[in-house]
Amino acid sequence: CDRRFNERSGTPFNDLQFPTDIVLLAVLWRLRYKLGFRDVAELLLQRGFEVSYETIRIWEFKFAPLVSENLRAKRRGVAGHSWYLDETYIKVSGKWRYLYRAIDREGNLLDSMLSEHRDKHAARRFLRRLLDSARQKPLRMTTDKHPAYTKAIRWIVGRKVLHRQNQYLNNRMEQSHRPIKQRYYPMLGFRSFESASRFCTAFDELRNYLRARSVDDEPIPASTRREIFTRRWSALMTELAG
């Protein structure tokens, strides 16, 4: 048998020319920071690795879903009893698309989904995805006054949930949109629906995982935030490489 095996055999990183940690670092840099493909290539060059920006693009295509799946599995079944749902606009190939997102009262991500349309069918798909992720039904749901939510919630979640429709009650959801907006604008939109969906999902999952949670709304010291970030980043790199 002429086959050769190494520590990456059987993993998604087999047959890659570069070390696994470098590939993961490039993908996580793209998701975490306001960096273009060329920016990431230059940062890797400073570390002694000559990588084309197109290679960075391919890595993101292949491994951003790995990040999403890993982190989504971690939070499956973890959700508060009060959910906030809303959608924001993302430009894809020159057209506006709708990024549905949901968080709980503590600001933890429940799920996100990019849709070509903003209607009852999209709302139903998102609610099914939410319930699959949360593995439980909420006691309260807060949305804006878009009529699609009312019918979708009754159809998918049921009539026992308290559905509040109030723009001001949903301000925390508007604030939750800011990070993806800030990350999206430097990119000047996405070329395809698939790339937009892939990036937005992975971005949300990574941000949620690295976010330090406060207890009883108490401020978190900067030193604690740094410690949490460093520990979780290192743990994620190890898990993904395994």
User: Do 50 and 93 lie in a common domain?
Assistant: no
User: Do 133 and 199 lie in a common domain?
Assistant: yes
Domain membership flag for residue 101:
yes
The predicted-structure confidence for 34-47, as pLDDT tens digits, reads as follows: 999 999 999 999 99
In this prediction, residues 57-84 reach a mean pLDDT of 94
Q: How far apart are CA 204 and CA 85, in angstroms?
A: 14
User: Do 180 and 152 lie in a common domain?
Assistant: yes
pLDDT of residue 188: 66
Q: What is the CATH number of the domain that holds 113?
A: 3.30.420.10
Q: Which domain holds residue 47?
A: 20-75+223-241
User: Do 106 and 132 lie in a common domain?
Assistant: yes
User: Do 71 and 186 lie in a common domain?
Assistant: no
Domain membership flag for residue 237:
yes
138 pLDDT tier (thresholds 50, 70, 90): very high
The predicted-structure confidence for 180-236, as pLDDT tens digits, reads as follows: 888 776 566 788 999 999 999 999 999 999 998 776 677 889 999 999 999 999 999
User: Do 37 and 113 lie in a common domain?
Assistant: no
The predicted-structure confidence for 88-130, as pLDDT tens digits, reads as follows: 989 899 899 999 999 999 889 999 999 999 999 999 999 999 9
Q: How far apart are CA 130 and CA 116, in angstroms?
A: 18
pTM: 0.89
Question: What is the average pLDDT score of the chain?
Answer: 89
Domain membership flag for residue 14:
no
Say if residues 79 and 129 touch (Cβ distance below 8 Å). Answer: no
Provide the domain count of the chain. 2
pLDDT of residue 12: 75
DSSP string, the chain: ------TTTTSTTTT-SS-HHHHHHHHHHHHHSS--HHHHHHHHHHTT----HHHHHHHHHHHHHHHHHHHHHHHTT---SEEEEEEEEEEETTEEEEEEEEEETT--EEEEEEES--SHHHHHHHHHHHHHHHSS--SEEEE-S-HHHHHHHHHHT-SSSEEEE-TTTTHHHHHHHHHHHHHHGGGTSBSSHHHHHHHHHHHHHHHHHHPPPPSTTPPPPHHHHHHHHHHHHHHHHHHHH-
Strand partners of residue 190? 92
Domain membership flag for residue 134:
yes
User: Do 202 and 227 lie in a common domain?
Assistant: no
